[in-house]
Amino acid sequence: MATVEIHEFSTGINAERLPNGGWRSRGFRVGECMNLTLPYIPETVKRAIANKRFEVFKDRHSQDPSFIGRVVPSTENGERDWSVVAVVTPGQDEGGRSTSFYRYFLCEGRDSLWKILAWMEHYQQQPGGKWPVFDPFASKQVGESHQWNVNAKPKLKLPDDWQSFLNENQTPAILKRGDASNLKMINAMAEVKANSEQVSWAYNVEVIERPEQFIIIQAANEESYQRLMQKRQSQANNARLMPLSVDEAAIRKAINALISGSQVRDEWIQTILATLEGNQVTVEQWEAVFDDQGAGTAIKKGSADLRMGRLLTLRAFVLPETLPEFLGWLWPIEGKKKQENPQKKASQEFQSKLISKLNQRPHNFTDGIKKALKALLEKEIPVVSVIWLFNANAGGSIWRPYRRPLVEDVRTDLIAIRDSLSSNGNTPDPRELRCGEEIWSDLCSYRQDSNYRYGNYYKPFAELFAGLGRLENSFDLSAYFYQVSDEQVPKSIFNQGVSNVNGDEGEVYGLIVQRKIDLPEKARRFVVKYAKIILIVSLLLSTHGAIYLWGKNNGYQLGKTDGFNDGYKKGLAEVNVALPTSRNDRITEKEKEIAIKNFTKTVETIENIVSELAKLKIKGTENQPLRKEIIGEVQNALVVNKDDSKELDYEKATSRGLLGWGIDWSGEIARAKNEWVEAIYISDKQAKLVSS
């Protein structure tokens, strides 16, 4: 015979005695217990209680207590294993609400449940026949444990039909009332059913929220039995339930503490990091924890709660696949843009306190960034959100240290694609690409086949690396992706990102890039090339105040009626237009003869400018001038003498005569050419004077 110590403690409450001899609770003592016979509650037992391993819900009208038996193993070397039995009784608070109250009995060792039960059975057999239920007015002191003498562990004969429960695959085994005749019997059944697992059972219970936490449960009645069976079935395939080996309460406490206040304690961070390192918690289970804090609802409804700003920031680190969702919440694609909102500020302040605390999990950041890049390409999040993620304008980003590695990874991948294509015509093995096959599959198709097009798929990358350009000198990447998307590179990006330039072209990682020629520069180049004719066309247009067919519509504002702007003067200078001494000079017969002979070249020049002008859109509209309109303006511009009643006829001057055979019996074609030559000569002289 040996003597064992059975310790106890109870739920801490402020109790009020009632006139009928009963009692009611006037509130719980948070973090405290009552009637403790140990100097302190073992930490493993505290964690088991915090994780609701003993939690059941009692019917307020129930006369019999429920019993929960569980072995609580040690988690570290040197700690003790404990066997614990909780006696659960119903009670009321001051508002008349029903709640459950617990009295815990514990004995050292993982094979000591039977010892506690033997003592409890002896207690129940004392005069009055009561179980040791919760009693807020009992007076227990540290050191006043129950001393109990035990013999060898008794051997119990299990029921004949117990074999069917042993063979049942589902856990827990749900028993009807009476299937286990007493506490000793259900404990013996649980020991057999547990095999190598820790023994756990519940006896005479109405409702259990997490039945999967037990090996065997005996229902208090038929209604409870049916309810427990349904609960077991509904949770059988619930992937969001946390495994029993994980300290879920500690995780929830750490998350709640981190997002609720201004403090960031290392112990809370370590709880989360240790759980991640253990790889025992799945993505679905993490999501359940964050959703219980309100993450899912915040994403769906666009909550403006500052607490959600911190929660979703932490969630984006713990679950990298949710980073795009977090960025989309802060920067919605549709609706009102949250350019400045308190959630962003709350997130940044929170991140500033997390910097240097999460370094041991770099892949949580890099994995999230890859997900964000993919979402960026799919237009699910705006470019500004990713720039903000790297915190270009502030120092409080936990993702900021991974900004430069991202730029280098992209460069490395583009070089790998270039080298592989140049060596064997194939793209590299996807496993060799740092950013992953998902990001570069379309780009590889484009580089292999120049006819492959997919619109502006990579345009967000062009804008992203332009936005990060001054911070990481990533204009080369911006130029690359602008060329892939738009087939041209903005001038400022081209000048900063392309080094080996030949005229308007350069090369970036094996890709030929072309500088975008903006409208003012196109206009200047066009003026240089067609200065004379442009002056002829625009002279009268500006004088008459008509539509500025060339200048105003294409980026140049023509001068007042007495001249043209610097753009036209520059064009004249570059073609060395000489200024005449008189504006009354007339064309000589010899000059006219030569001009008519070369009229075909004049027509070609006019057709060139007509063709070029027809490509340009009228300013402020999406319309392009019609050929007929351009020819009409040219003809009007060349009628420089209002007193001259002759009207130019371009179509007749360029006609091929009767039936296209060059026959001009009436001489109308010759007269039309003659009028055109004289008009061009006079207009050219006047244009030179005006430009001076």
Look over the chain and give the mean of its residue pLDDT values, rounded to a whole number: 82
Q: What's the average model confidence in pLDDT over 50-79? A: 89
Q: What's the average model confidence in pLDDT over 171-194? A: 92
Going by C-alpha positions, the residue among 66, 129, 128, 140 that lies closest to residue 101 is: 66
pLDDT at residue 358 is higher than 50 = yes
Q: What is the pLDDT of residue 449?
A: 76
569-577: long-range contacts at Cβ-Cβ below 8 A with a sequence spacing of 24 or more? 569/691, 570/524, 570/527, 570/528, 571/524, 571/527, 571/528, 571/531, 571/534, 572/531, 572/535, 572/688, 572/691, 574/528, 574/531, 575/528, 575/531, 575/532, 577/531, 577/532, 577/688, 577/691
Q: Which residues contact 591 (CB under 8 A, 6 or more apart)?
A: 681
Q: Please, which pLDDT band fits residue 558 given cuts at 50, 70 and 90?
A: very low
Q: Which residues contact 280 (CB under 8 A, 6 or more apart)?
A: 243, 245, 246
d(CA 124, CA 84): 18
Q: How far is CA 624 from CA 14, 549, 559, 584, in A?
A: 86, 10, 23, 37
Q: Please, which pLDDT band fits residue 684 given cuts at 50, 70 and 90?
A: low
Q: How far apart are the first and last CA of the chain?
A: 126
Q: What's the average model confidence in pLDDT over 166-182? A: 86
Beta bridge partners of 57: 207
Going by C-alpha positions, the residue among 188, 28, 205 that lies closest to residue 113 is: 188
pLDDT digits (tens, 9 = 90+) for 614-672: 766 554 455 666 777 777 767 776 665 544 545 788 888 888 766 556 677 678 888 88
d(CA 562, CA 580): 17
Chain centroid, CA 543 distance in Å: 58
pLDDT at residue 154 is higher than 80 = yes
Beta strands 216-219 and 200-205, pairing class: parallel
* DSSP character string of 312-345: HHHHHHHSGGGHHHHHHHHS-SSSS--SS-HHHH
Chain centroid, CA 249 distance in Å: 28
d(CA 409, CA 362): 15
421-428: long-range contacts at Cβ-Cβ below 8 A with a sequence spacing of 24 or more? 421/447, 421/448, 421/510, 422/510
The two structure tokens encoding residue 387: 């720039």
Q: What are phi and psi of 155, to 5 degrees?
A: -100, 125
Q: Please, which pLDDT band fits residue 170 given cuts at 50, 70 and 90?
A: confident
Q: Could you tell me what percent of the chain has a pLDDT over 70?
A: 82
584: buried, middle or exposed (CB in 10 Å: 19+, 13-18, 0-12)?
A: exposed
Model-level pTM? 0.74
| Contact call for residues 201 and 215 (beta carbons, < 8 A) | yes
**Buried b / exposed e along 203-233 (16+ C-beta atoms within 10 A):** bbbbbbebbbbbbbbbbbeeebbebbeebbe
d(CA 633, CA 629): 6
d(CA 320, CA 323): 5
The two structure tokens encoding residue 64: 């019999």
pLDDT digits (tens, 9 = 90+) for 280-322: 999 999 999 999 999 999 998 887 788 999 999 999 999 999 9
Question: Degrees (nearest 5) of the Cα angle 367, 368, 374?
Answer: 95
Q: What are phi and psi of 632, to 5 degrees?
A: -60, -40
Chain centroid, CA 584 distance in Å: 73
Q: What's the average model confidence in pLDDT over 45-66? A: 90
d(CA 130, CA 114): 19
Q: What is the pLDDT of residue 84?
A: 98
pLDDT at residue 365 is higher than 50 = yes
**What's the order of all strands across the beta sheet hosting 505-508?**
501-502, 505-508, 511-514
Q: Any idea where the domains of the chain sit in the sequence?
A: 2-235, 248-398, 404-514, 521-691
| Contact call for residues 74 and 44 (beta carbons, < 8 A) | yes
Question: Degrees (nearest 5) of the Cα angle 478, 484, 487?
Answer: 100
pLDDT digits (tens, 9 = 90+) for 574-621: 333 322 333 445 678 887 888 888 888 778 877 877 777 676 655 445
393: buried, middle or exposed (CB in 10 Å: 19+, 13-18, 0-12)?
A: exposed
Chain centroid, CA 161 distance in Å: 56
Q: What is the pLDDT of residue 583?
A: 40
| Contact call for residues 132 and 183 (beta carbons, < 8 A) | no
Q: Which residue has the tokens 């069917």?
A: 164
| Contact call for residues 464 and 386 (beta carbons, < 8 A) | yes
Indicate the helix (H) or strand (E) that contains 4: strand 2-17
d(CA 524, CA 528): 6
| Contact call for residues 468 and 474 (beta carbons, < 8 A) | yes
SS3 content of the chain, % helix, strand, coil (to 5): 50, 15, 40
d(CA 43, CA 79): 9
pLDDT digits (tens, 9 = 90+) for 467-515: 999 889 999 999 999 999 999 999 999 999 998 888 889 999 999 999 9
As a three-state string, the secondary structure of 453-467 is: CCCCCCHHHHHHHHH
Beta bridge partners of 147: 5
Q: What is the pLDDT of residue 59?
A: 81
Q: What's the average model confidence in pLDDT over 84-96? A: 89
Going by C-alpha positions, the residue among 214, 219, 206 that lies closest to residue 235 is: 214
135: buried, middle or exposed (CB in 10 Å: 19+, 13-18, 0-12)?
A: middle
pLDDT digits (tens, 9 = 90+) for 105-129: 999 999 999 999 999 999 999 888 8
